[in-house]
Structure 1
């Protein structure tokens, strides 16, 4: 079973590990290999632990936790493991949307099963609850999973070139305005 819940400070180490694992599987050929090899789950965990505890500017982190038959190999019997997460809050810069999804990372074995959609729904519901009427996110143009945001109805509204890891990379902004369009796109399918 996979459940989505608000992250706790104790989840930070697992969140940091998911962050590093997903970057290493998503960005070969996009980011330098030495940059990917040098990523530190511990360093990322410290940043997420602080974000989880502070909750500044409407910020929240939600995790996807797998247990039972859905738990990753090596998980102790009866245990659970963080297999993905989403973070966001009020937009870090004005102009595109009121809320922003800052990160959405999911281990490879848990993609294409609806878990990313459920994480996006949790963040959209949170952002709506803190008063955001629209939501946006940035994604690298060369990220092979950017189609996911288009599939959820995100409209490409901006592009920019950024410097990262010694490279010039193009990123794209996707917008859902009103935020209800993302909530509708991520609604559970009716049973029957």
Structure 2
């Protein structure tokens, strides 16, 4: 086995369940839920039967790539998948067992899972070829007589014009929180709301813009926007709602926007971060960025010093 193959087939961290959906009956509209019971035939309330499609899965990291190729929004409900998971490589797990919540599943294909034990396996009772990690670190969910699943991290999707107001409000809140002490307080309070509204009113939510939003529990938790009218493209915005930072949303957004840019054919991307923003600088370097040096930049008409951070996308 080559070194690259070994890296690709080894799971380096625990994953997460980001979204759970139920199909009440064949061709019925899917219903998103926070938790679901699970038994031998599949998720409680889902029409699937035991077999190779008892539970269907897709990686959260793939959704924005699919959306970029379709030039529109793609949701797990549209793809009729039960579980959206992130942080792991499903393609390497075919024929192996994983534990999700209290249930043990055997992966039968890149997007399918067969229940090996509807909650009856005790903790740690994985087959000998199962990877030594837990897919999710969650407690029991709803449902009687079976194991439970609970989603927590939310999902990432392509933004649409319908998201304009929510993105603008989140962007405003993030700036007012992050740039206190960098920009004049009077500007942040009195002028920034109108400037931000004008900025997002002009956005087309179409090429050359590539905008992704993160959601959890029906609330927008963050967004990222890249401008592809240059090569390398500029990751112009990446913001997480104040109070929710540090929970992984920023990392998932960065990974998703990089994946979408790579799928669009770009080899590199870059962004700029204020020199005063040491926390953001550390974050980007920890997520694969390379400091390419100091640059002069403008922040709403104010000259600032920033660092250019480059990312390889291949």
Distance 1:83 1:44 in 2: 20
Provide structure 2 residue ranges, at least 5 long, that are not aligned to the other structure.
1-151
**Larger displacement relative to structure 2 (17-26 or 108-117):** 108-117
Look up the match of 1:129. 263
Instruction: Report how far residue 165 of structure 1 moved.
Output: 4.5
Q: Report 1:136-151 matches (<5 A).
A: 136-143=270-277, 144-151=279-286
Post-superposition Cα deviations, 1:108-143, rounded to whole Å, max 9, x if no partner, equal 222111111110111011100111011111111112
- Among 9, 21, 25, the residue aligned to 2:177: 25
Structure that is richer in helix per residue: 1
**Pair 1:108-2:242 in alignment:** yes
Q: Whole-Å Cα distance in 1 between the matches of residues 233 and 292 of structure 2? A: 15
Alignment correspondent of 1:47: 202
Task: Please list, as runs of the form range in 1=range in 2, the aligned pairs for 1:144-183 lying within 5 A after superposition.
Answer: 144-165=279-300, 167-177=302-312, 179-180=313-314
- Give the Cα separation in 1 of the matches to 2:282 and 2:216: 24
Bigger relative CO (Cα 8 Å, ≥ 6 apart): 1
TM-score, normalisation: structure 2: 0.47
Q: Is the 8 A contact 1:18 1:84 kept in 2?
A: yes
> Residues 47, 105 of structure 1: CA spacing in aligned structure 2 closer, same or farther, 3 A cutoff?
farther
Given that 1:86 and 1:103 are in contact with CA atoms closer than 8 Å, whether structure 2 keeps it comes out as yes
Secondary structure at 1:60 match in 2: strand
Q: CA offsets per residue over residues 145-175 of structure 1, 9 Å max, x none? A: 2211011121111322234455431011111
Cα RMSD of the aligned pairs, angstroms, is 1.8
- Whether the aligned pair in 2 keeps the contact of 1:99 and 1:133 (CA below 8 Å) is no
Deviation at 1:11, TM superposition (A): 0.4
In structure 2, C-alpha distance between the alignment counterparts of 1:163 and 1:101, rounded to whole Å: 15
Gaps of 5+ in 1: 68-79, 181-192
| Structure 2 SS opposite 1:132 | coil
Tell me by how many angstroms 1:99 deviates. 2.6
Higher Cα radius of gyration: 2
Deviations 1:2-30 (A, max 9, x none): 11111011001000001100000001111
Tell me which moved more, 127-136 or 34-43.
34-43
CA distance in 1, matches of 2:168, 2:225: 12
Inter-partner Cα distance in structure 2 for 1:141 and 1:21: 21
